[in-house]
């Protein structure tokens, strides 16, 4: 019997493991995603921006790298500025969610519809204040998978040797979710190269990754200035938001005055959190249709525009330290070298926040529309380029890719793993680095943090041309 049972057993084991793989794959491949998931602003999942990742989270499109086909080029350096991954709500939003769920449980009409019954009888408030903005398991996965894909895309830079010899620099904001994210990124790289025991090595630098807090002109002129976000306040009480509030009140059978705009937003965020944290299509999502979601998305775009982007010049200028840091790193990596000299730093990984990325993107002149979004022009802003759901989802990333080519170093930009062109240099995907430097000359020679942040106070007026 013995010789016979062995192959039978191993066949059974093989069949069983195949079955298990099939089961786990099929449970992964039935994503029941709310239609409104692409409108969650800074609470959007990375997968909503790159939907092919829903089928294969590690798939990489190598044709996004576009050095000129007529020139011989090699990769010399990657600087990646990355937002932390999916996270828990902060205390402020947890309290709003608490308030909303109590209101709906106590005062909403008894649900005739299934989703309302689900909210009232099945859904449990499970968020607690100690979760306060921390990275969730899915958020660690976001960064691990991103690292894995970047190692596939840049095998010579994020190479096994460069990872093992610790030639890659890692720098992060001090916030817990960012430190956890940079650790997860390092796990992803090490996993990619077959390591199973992880080590971490990174520096914390808030002057670079949380520059906004260190810029007095920004803090006084924008962050702590009650009138700086006037457009957001007006929109919150404007006709589009009022209509969303009225419809939500109707769906819940509540008097409209019981729902504040903050509670409307809490319900929208709740739908986003249940998806990004637990991959659930929450019953709360049924409170909104696509038109409602677009209005709520616009509300958060307005906030980011006026608080972190083109609304006030000081917001982008506060990122000058990070801008200079990136270009110093690129200068060093692109400098001509004798063959005896040590090779340049292959990659620099910087982890921060949406509040880190948006000012830097604005300083570079990216996603700038002709007309600023305001409380009154929602209808004309449907095709806007400044759409935070697309730009700064969880794990958003801005990649500076430096090549060494026959005519000299070249630089390419990618946002969320897709190519974008430098404003003013739109004819090429990877223009000569010296042309990029010439385009940003005024910032490279100026953009003095202390001059901008300490010198003049106030927001310096809306939309001053840089
Ligand atoms: C790969 O990237 C290129 C360049 O951005 C794009 O044109 C192409 O559609 C992408 N292919 C896939 C399968 O996504
Ligand atoms: C959403 O609901 C409103 C009010 O019922 C309706 O006017 C609008 O057309 C709906 N939008 C979509 C995309 O279904
Ligand atoms: C606050 O913002 C308003 C609107 O931009 C501006 O006029 C005012 O000077 C700012 N206040 C301070 C203290 O900077």
Band of pLDDT at residue 27, cut at 50, 70 and 90: very low
Give me the pLDDT at residue 13, please: 44
* Domains annotated on the chain, with CATH: 2-452 (3.40.50.1240)
* Alpha carbon nearest to ligand 1 atom 5, residue: 64
* Alpha carbon nearest to ligand 1 atom 14, residue: 61
* Alpha carbon nearest to ligand 3 atom 9, residue: 458
Band of pLDDT at residue 31, cut at 50, 70 and 90: low
- Mean pLDDT confidence for 240-257: 96
Q: Which ligand 3 atom sits nearest the alpha carbon of residue 462?
A: 5
Residues 180-213: tens digit of each pLDDT:
999 999 999 999 999 989 999 999 999 999 999 9
C-beta 311 within 6 A of ligand 3: no
pLDDT at 465 over 50: no
Residues 309-359: tens digit of each pLDDT:
999 999 999 999 999 999 999 999 998 777 777 778 999 999 999 999 999
C-beta 221 within 6 A of ligand 3: yes
Q: Which ligand is nearest to the CA of 461?
A: 3
Band of pLDDT at residue 457, cut at 50, 70 and 90: very low
Give the catalytic positions in this structure.
84
Instruction: Kindly give the distance from the C-alpha atom of residue 215 to the centroid of ligand 3, in angstroms, as a whole number.
Output: 15
Instruction: Kindly give the distance from the C-alpha atom of residue 459 to the centroid of ligand 3, in angstroms, as a whole number.
Output: 6
Please choose from 61, 412, 419 the residue to mutate so as to test ligand 1's pocket, defined by most ligand atoms within 8 A of CB: 61
Q: Which ligand is nearest to the CA of 295?
A: 2
Q: SS3 sequence, the chain?
A: CHHHHHHHHHHHHHHHHHHHHHHHHHHHCCCCCCHHHHHCHHHCCHHHHCCHHHHCCCCCCHHHCCCCCCCCEEEEEEEEEEECCCECCCHHHHHHHHHHHHHHHHHCCCCCCHHHHHHHHHCCCCCCHHHCCCECHHHHHHHHHHHHHHHHHCCCCCCHHHHHCCCCEEEECCCHHHHHHHHHHHHHHHHHCCCCCCCCCCEECHHHHCHHHHCHHHHHHHHCCCCCCHHHHHHHCCHHHHHHHHHHHHHHCCCHHHCCHHHHHHHHHHHHHHHHHHCCCCHHHHHCCHHHHHHHHHHHHHHHHHHHCCCEHHHHHCCHHHHHHHHHHHHHHHCCCCCCCCCCCCEEEEEECHHHHHHHHHHCCCCCCCCCCCCCCHHHHCCCCCCHHHHCCCCCEEEEEEEEECCEEEEEEEECCEEECCCCCCCCCCCEHHHHHHHCHHHHHCCCHHHHHHHCCCCCCECCCC
Instruction: Kindly give the distance from the C-alpha atom of residue 290 to the centroid of ligand 2, in angstroms, as a whole number.
Output: 7
Give me the pLDDT at residue 5, please: 39
Give me the pLDDT at residue 339, please: 73
Protein residues whose CB sits closer than 6 Å to any atom of ligand 2: 247, 289-291
pTM of the predicted structure, to 2 decimals: 0.91
Q: Which ligand is nearest to the CA of 307?
A: 3
C-beta 463 within 6 A of ligand 3: no
pLDDT at 42 over 70: yes
Instruction: Kindly give the distance from the C-alpha atom of residue 61 to the centroid of ligand 1, in angstroms, as a whole number.
Output: 6
Looking at every residue in the chain, the average pLDDT score rounds to: 91
* Alpha carbon nearest to ligand 2 atom 8, residue: 291
Q: Which ligand 1 atom sits nearest the alpha carbon of residue 66?
A: 4
């Amino acid at each position: 019997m013995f010789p016979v049972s062995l192959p039978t057993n191993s066949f059974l084991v093989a069949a069983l493991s195949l079955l298990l793989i099939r089961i786990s794959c099929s449970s992964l491949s039935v994503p029941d995603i709310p239609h409104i998931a692409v409108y969650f602003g800074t609470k959007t999942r990375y997968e909503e921006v790159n939907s092919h990742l829903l089928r294969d989270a590690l798939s990489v499109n190598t044709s996004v790298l576009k050095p000129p086909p007529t020139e011989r080029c090699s990769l010399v350096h990657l600087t990646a500025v990355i937002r932390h991954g999916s996270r828990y709500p902060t205390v402020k939003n947890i309290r709003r969610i608490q308030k909303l769920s109590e209101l709906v449980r106590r005062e909403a009409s008894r649900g005739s519809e299934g989703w309302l019954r689900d909210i009232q009888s099945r859904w449990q408030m499970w968020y607690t204040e100690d979760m306060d903005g921390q990275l969730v398991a899915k958020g660690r996965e976001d960064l691990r998978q991103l690292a894995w894909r970047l190692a596939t895309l840049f095998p010579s830079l994020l190479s096994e040797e460069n990872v093992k010899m610790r030639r890659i620099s890692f720098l992060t904001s001090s916030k817990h979710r960012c430190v956890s994210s940079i650790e997860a990124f390092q796990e992803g790289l090490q996993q990619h190269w077959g390591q199973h025991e992880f080590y971490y090595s990174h520096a914390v630098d808030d002057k670079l990754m949380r520059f906004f807090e260190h810029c007095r002109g920004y803090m006084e002129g924008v962050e702590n200035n009650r009138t700086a976000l006037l457009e957001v306040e007006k929109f919150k009480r404007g006709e589009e938001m009022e209509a969303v509030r009225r419809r939500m009140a109707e769906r819940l059978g509540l008097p409209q005055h019981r729902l504040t705009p903050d509670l409307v937003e809490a319900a929208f965020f709740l739908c986003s959190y249940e998806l990004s944290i637990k991959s659930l299509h929450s019953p709360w999502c049924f409170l909104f249709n696509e038109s409602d979601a677009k209005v709520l998305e616009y509300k958060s775009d307005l906030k980011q525009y006026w608080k972190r982007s083109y609304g006030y010049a000081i917001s982008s200028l506060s990122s000058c330290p990070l801008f200079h840091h990136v270009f110093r790193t690129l200068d060093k990596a692109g400098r001509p070298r004798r063959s005896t000299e040590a090779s340049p730093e292959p990659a620099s990984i910087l982890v921060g926040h949406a509040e880190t990325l948006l000012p830097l993107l604005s300083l570079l002149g990216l996603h700038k529309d002709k007309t600023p979004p305001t409380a009154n022009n929602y209808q004309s802003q449907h095709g806007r380029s400044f759409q935070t759901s697309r730009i700064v989802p969880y794990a958003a990333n801005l990649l500076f890719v430096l090549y060494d080519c026959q005519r000299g170093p070249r630089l390419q930009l990618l946002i969320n793993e897709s190519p974008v062109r430098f404003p003013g240099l739109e004819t090429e995907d990877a223009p000569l680095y010296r042309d990029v430097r010439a385009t940003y000359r005024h910032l490279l020679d100026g953009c003095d943090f202390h001059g901008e942040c300490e010198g003049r106070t106030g927001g310096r007026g809306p939309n001053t041309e840089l």
